[in-house]
Structure 1
């Protein structure tokens, strides 16, 4: 298993009357609630957390893109990644990811990722996402065009990274007479691409077709299991290969402490903000007409997929596998289910809590790094000696 420290960079200081006064933490939440002076301190604290994760041995640190909300204050993940290239000295830097359909100029995304890859010495992971339904209201994008804009932007970016320029690109949504990016990415053929998702059939199929790692996000274990089974089945039956653990990732918040009881208490105190407040979204924002295909909606209904957690207790979140909470031994046991049963090999977890004091964040980081991660690290064995070496006498 590889370990990836992900940060939402949330705005935790919602007003006391938030539940009664506001129906959403997205799109319509007044930006007068945001305090730029406090935001300055928060950004730097979040960068410090990511820098510590690098020093503690996490395989990558990760940021993402969201707009007009308190859930995650990173409208430009590429700017955040640029800052991290100067702070993160060893780990990869994951951008998971750029919401391609929201961008009217995906060539700019290709250029920025190429720049970051060169600056970082080839350490960029480039995630591509469609963006949540809420973002289509924030950016005034027609959600019925989401999938085709996503696929076309993807093809343009891959060509920009890999084809010698200049060349022209003519599509339904994007047209360029000259595609000729400077600089070109350092990694060949291009930076690795991840595809996070909430189990839409088309996204899983697209990821499997391109052999991109597919990452499940904030969902019950049974829903994750079905998504992975579909990915493996498509890989084998439709695309002719066997999916590997490094192609299946899972984003799951983890509360770790010295005992199971303490982990449950700390998790309930600091994680419920994420599910009850930061994810407070009216259905019409979350799933605008045309955002999901009828096929995916039908599958979600048949599989009883869960898209909201407002009325779910912390204990229920743990029981459903949406969250992991426990001592190091319990966390190892629950993560082992992913590796041994689901054959998923990439854990994405980290900073997405409400006002957790820094000493507790540090404790969680250190306990994961020192008591959990070593259990799953593959130890490199020395090469077996050749027969002649086994029997030869020292000179």
Structure 2
């Protein structure tokens, strides 16, 4: 199993009383709540934390894309990846993702990712997403077109990475007379592609196709639903004539580890509940706008995301396996259990969440890196997971 530190870069200085006037930290929250002086300090603190993950021995660090919200301050994750490219030495840098359907020119992503891949000499992981429903509100984009635009943008980017140019591209949504990528990516035939998802069955079908076999990531989901989606990926692979490996499956989950279960719960409680009830707060119609999902996928995603509706407590998410919290022994045991039962090969931990301050984030990172990661590395390398 490989270990990554994922960062959302939230606006941790958010006035948490905002919800007395506004119903969401996304899209409709006035940007007067953002103080650039505080935001500048947060950006540099967060980059320091990701650089520290490199020193602590993580396999990778992850940034992602969200627009017009306090939940994640990375509307352009390539900026963060570029900042990390020269300041880190060993870790993979995963950009999870770019929201391809929002783009007017997907070639810019092919160029941007190729540049980071060259600067890092092959340490880039390319993440592609459709983007959650709120992004379509932010960009005034039609979610009903998102599947077609995603697939066409993906095909254009991969061709730009792998085909000798110049060549012409004529699609339904994108048309170019000349595609001739300078620079070409460092990795051959191109950087590995990961597909984060909320659980769309169409996304699982597409990512698992033998032509792609992309790593599928499930994000912030009850562990029962995680197991279902991972099993679905494996089933689709078998139906298409091959056996999926653990390297094709990943899980993103917030984790907090401290000296004892009691200390961990006490230190994490306010911050994980702020994350759940303040930063994640958005109406369902913003998360899942009409046309965004097929009926089949909508039913599955609604079931999974119903676990984060309403007011949530730390106990709620610990019980559902959506937050791993406790002593090193507790965290090791829980993660080992889930990995053995489900068989994911990439573990993306949110070690900073919501309002968790710098000193507790560093403490969390250090204990996790020294007392959890080495144990799980040894166990998962010695005992292959049983995925059935």
User: Same fold by TM-score, threshold 0.5 exceeded?
Assistant: yes
1:43 is paired with a residue of what secondary structure?
Answer: helix
CA distance in 2, matches of 1:378, 1:354: 31
Instruction: Identify if the C-alpha distance between structure 1 residues 277 and 228 changes in structure 2 by more than 3 Å, giving closer, same or farther.
Output: same
Instruction: Identify if the C-alpha distance between structure 1 residues 360 and 165 changes in structure 2 by more than 3 Å, giving closer, same or farther.
Output: same
TM-score, structure 1 normalization: 0.93
The equivalent of 1:235 in structure 2 is: 237
The equivalent of 1:211 in structure 2 is: 213
1:338·1:345 contact (CA, 8 Å) conserved in 2?
no
1:111 is paired with a residue of what secondary structure?
Answer: helix
Give 1:357 deviation, angstroms. Answer: 2.8
1:245·1:339 contact (CA, 8 Å) conserved in 2?
no
1:377 is paired with a residue of what secondary structure?
Answer: helix
The equivalent of 2:141 in structure 1 is: 141
The equivalent of 1:358 in structure 2 is: 358
Instruction: Identify if the C-alpha distance between structure 1 residues 380 and 219 changes in structure 2 by more than 3 Å, giving closer, same or farther.
Output: closer
- For residues 293-372 of structure 1, the aligned pairs below 5 Å read 293-300=294-301, 306=306, 308-372=308-372
Give 1:339 deviation, angstroms. Answer: 2.1
1:220·1:306 contact (CA, 8 Å) conserved in 2?
no
- 1:119 is aligned to 2:119: yes
1:64·1:98 contact (CA, 8 Å) conserved in 2?
yes
Instruction: Identify if the C-alpha distance between structure 1 residues 77 and 16 changes in structure 2 by more than 3 Å, giving closer, same or farther.
Output: closer
The equivalent of 1:389 in structure 2 is: none
Give 1:355 deviation, angstroms. Answer: 3.1
More displaced stretch, 269-278 vs 56-65: 269-278
1:275·1:310 contact (CA, 8 Å) conserved in 2?
no
Give 1:201 deviation, angstroms. Answer: 0.4
Give 1:380 deviation, angstroms. Answer: 12
- Tell me which stretches of 4 or more aligned residues in structure 1 moved more than 6 Å: none
1:249·1:348 contact (CA, 8 Å) conserved in 2?
yes
- For residues 1-395 of structure 1, the aligned pairs below 5 Å read 1-209=1-209, 210-237=212-239, 239-300=240-301, 306=306, 308-378=308-378
Deviation digits for residues 280-302 of structure 1, max 9, x if unmatched?
1112211111001112123446x
2:199·2:300 contact (CA, 8 Å) conserved in 1?
no
1:219·1:306 contact (CA, 8 Å) conserved in 2?
no
Larger radius of gyration: 1
More displaced stretch, 292-301 vs 175-184: 292-301
The equivalent of 2:386 in structure 1 is: none
The equivalent of 1:390 in structure 2 is: none
Instruction: Identify if the C-alpha distance between structure 1 residues 357 and 14 changes in structure 2 by more than 3 Å, giving closer, same or farther.
Output: closer
2:202 is paired with a residue of what secondary structure?
Answer: helix
CA distance in 1, matches of 2:51, 2:143: 36
1:214·1:249 contact (CA, 8 Å) conserved in 2?
yes
1:125 is paired with a residue of what secondary structure?
Answer: strand
CA distance in 2, matches of 1:304, 1:191: 30
CA distance in 1, matches of 2:163, 2:301: 38
TM-score, structure 2 normalization: 0.95
Deviation digits for residues 144-190 of structure 1, max 9, x if unmatched?
00111001100110000001111111111011111101000000010
1:168 is paired with a residue of what secondary structure?
Answer: strand
Instruction: Identify if the C-alpha distance between structure 1 residues 164 and 378 changes in structure 2 by more than 3 Å, giving closer, same or farther.
Output: farther
Instruction: Identify if the C-alpha distance between structure 1 residues 273 and 74 changes in structure 2 by more than 3 Å, giving closer, same or farther.
Output: same
Give 1:312 deviation, angstroms. Answer: 2.2
The equivalent of 1:387 in structure 2 is: none
Give 1:94 deviation, angstroms. Answer: 0.7
2:208 is paired with a residue of what secondary structure?
Answer: helix
Deviation digits for residues 258-288 of structure 1, max 9, x if unmatched?
1111111222121111110111111221111
1:185·1:191 contact (CA, 8 Å) conserved in 2?
yes
CA distance in 2, matches of 1:127, 1:378: 28
1:84 is paired with a residue of what secondary structure?
Answer: helix
1:199·1:227 contact (CA, 8 Å) conserved in 2?
yes
For structure 1, the residue ranges without an aligned partner over 5 or more in a row are 382-395
1:275·1:309 contact (CA, 8 Å) conserved in 2?
no
